[in-house]
A = this chain, B = another copy of it.
Amino acid sequence: MSEFKKVNRSENYSEWYNYIVDAAELAQHSAVKGCMVIKPYGYAIWEKMQADLDKRFKATGHSNAYFPLFIPKSLFEAEEKNAEGFAKECAVVTHYRLKADPDNKGKLIVDPEAKLTEELVVRPTSEAIIWNTYRGWIQSYRDLPILINQWANVVRWEMRTRLFLRTAEFLWQEGHTAHATKDEAIAETTQMLKVYASFAEDIMAMPVIQGIKTANERFAGADETFCIEAMMQDGKALQAGTSHFLGQNFAKAFDVKFTGKDGKQDYVWATSWGVSTRLMGALIMTHSDDEGLVLPPKLAPIQVVIVPIFRSEEDFLAIQEKANNIKSELEAKGVSVKFDGRDTLKPGFKFAEWELKGVPVRLALGMRDIQNNTIEIARRDTKEKTSTSMDTVVDDVMTLLTDIQNNLYQRALDFRTAKTKVVNSKEEFLKVMDEGGFAMAHWDGSSESEEKIKEEYKATIRCIPLNNPQESGTCFFTGNTSKERVVFARAY
């Protein structure tokens, strides 16, 4: 089935990842360089993420809206830092028509007469088009705050792509809010960071560090970038979401002013925040194992699969009836259940397939079970199997789903704890980077040393954690004084 051969994590983590994405039918490369096809099973997981996030956005007062895919070049370049940050990876529309190729029957060429007078950038992010629109919406403090989110596709031209982790086109949501005061905008920024953190931890079962990016790692056009950082199983970091305090940068670039209660005019304060299909990559690399995908129950499109063990048609029908009863009872409790009644495949094959696809709980039911009023329960995370009574199976499954969700989180947290080291020298630092993990190291706060560290160790400052303990020390790299440790890691 898979174009990639089965690989264990310990052999080659990167090839293992490609294998899982392919074999679990999550996504594949397309005919368009750098763009992916998200397959139905992968998309079903993304839909579950979307639904939960969307609920959280609405619960915090946001509405969805939709802004154009294209940004005229003159708008795109208005906020200079933002433009500079994204210019190198912009897909640009220059023409609006194809025509028949006179030299090649049946082929088309770009019609040179249909050249746009102004080129259009395919949005890499939507601050420019949105703030240009907000100008028309905001006159007074009464028009504020504006709390809008957009679910959309964006394009950032990438040369080296990896499915979900780095693709030229990806799906995301981008929140764009406008406020009358700086404090309110900062409160929004941190509120959304917390929304992301609790989504990551409660739904994805993925522990994250909440923190602030250094100036070097900030979003182009932001005054401050907050982030959540997760640790993958190879000890590398993955930035899983960002929330930006944009100050008045976009309001100034697009001339968005409001009249305050005091009658004075001021520029509007802004935030933006986003997570993307990159979260799919984070999910896979946080929990999955050599047998395939492992999904937290809250994101599993199929939470329970029931596999019948039968020899005759008669047995099959008896088992199916029992299975359907269990299925109905579980569905009534909001659990999604699949009965795998395919008659051309052996149970062992089915077990492996559902393991590969990360279904959290597997029930197996044979004639002997029916005679004994028992059923086999297997959990995907630990691969433990037990036999339970048919009378309690529904409750047992409900408990197990919660257990699995919690266990996945705890396992990932324990892993991160074990792989996070306090580091005081270059040698210790290099060791952590080479073995994989987070190094908590003193840093002198200068962009210069940050860049040199990046060059020498291929490691970046992932963030300065929120509420970071203040302790005086010396920078592991320069020996200069430092007031706190920050999180270093190699990163996706």
Other-chain residue from B39, B44, B129 in contact with A32 (beta carbon distance below 8 A) = B129
Other-chain residue from B36, B44, B110, B121 in contact with A63 (beta carbon distance below 8 A) = B44
Other-chain residue from B38, B107, B136 in contact with A66 (beta carbon distance below 8 A) = B38
Interface range for A: 35 or more
Q: Is A119 an interface residue (CB 8 A)?
A: yes
Min distance, Cβ A125 to any Cβ of chain B, angstroms: 14
The stretch among A91-99, A200-208, A457-465, A484-492 that forms the contact with chain B is A91-99
Contact A83 B68 (CB under 8 A): no
Min distance, Cβ A372 to any Cβ of chain B, angstroms: 35
Chain B residues contacting A43 (CB-CB under 8 Å) are 63-66
Chain B residues contacting A4 (CB-CB under 8 Å) are none
Chain B residues contacting A68 (CB-CB under 8 Å) are 30-32, 35-37, 169
Contact B129 A119 (CB under 8 A): no
Closest to A86 in B: B98
Chain B residues contacting A80 (CB-CB under 8 Å) are 106
Q: A68-B35, A75-B31, A76-B108 are in contact. Are A92 and B96 (CB under 8 A)?
A: yes
Min distance, Cβ A197 to any Cβ of chain B, angstroms: 26
Q: Which residues, 22 to 69 on A, are CB-close (under 8 Å) to B?
A: 28, 30-32, 35-40, 43-44, 47, 63-69
Contact A153 B69 (CB under 8 A): yes
Closest to A154 in B: B69
Q: Is A422 an interface residue (CB 8 A)?
A: no
Other-chain residue from B38, B66, B90, B152 in contact with A65 (beta carbon distance below 8 A) = B38
Contact A155 B69 (CB under 8 A): yes
Closest to A46 in B: B66
A94 to B44, CA, bound (A): 33
Contact A67 B30 (CB under 8 A): yes
Min distance, Cβ A283 to any Cβ of chain B, angstroms: 16
A44 to B77, CA, bound (A): 31
Q: Is A333 an interface residue (CB 8 A)?
A: no
Q: Is A87 an interface residue (CB 8 A)?
A: yes
Q: A35-B69, A43-B64 are in contact. Are A87 and B99 (CB under 8 A)?
A: yes
Contact B65 A39 (CB under 8 A): yes
Chain B residues contacting A67 (CB-CB under 8 Å) are 30, 37
Contact B96 A95 (CB under 8 A): no
Q: Is A387 an interface residue (CB 8 A)?
A: no
Other-chain residue from B92, B96, B107, B133 in contact with A30 (beta carbon distance below 8 A) = B133
Q: Which residues, 153 to 201 on A, are CB-close (under 8 Å) to B?
A: 153, 155, 157, 169, 171
What are 15 residue pairs bridging A and B, where the CB atoms are less than 8 Å apart in the complex?
Answer: A30-B129, A35-B70, A37-B67, A44-B63, A47-B64, A69-B155, A77-B107, A91-B95, A92-B94, A92-B97, A92-B98, A93-B93, A94-B94, A94-B110, A96-B157
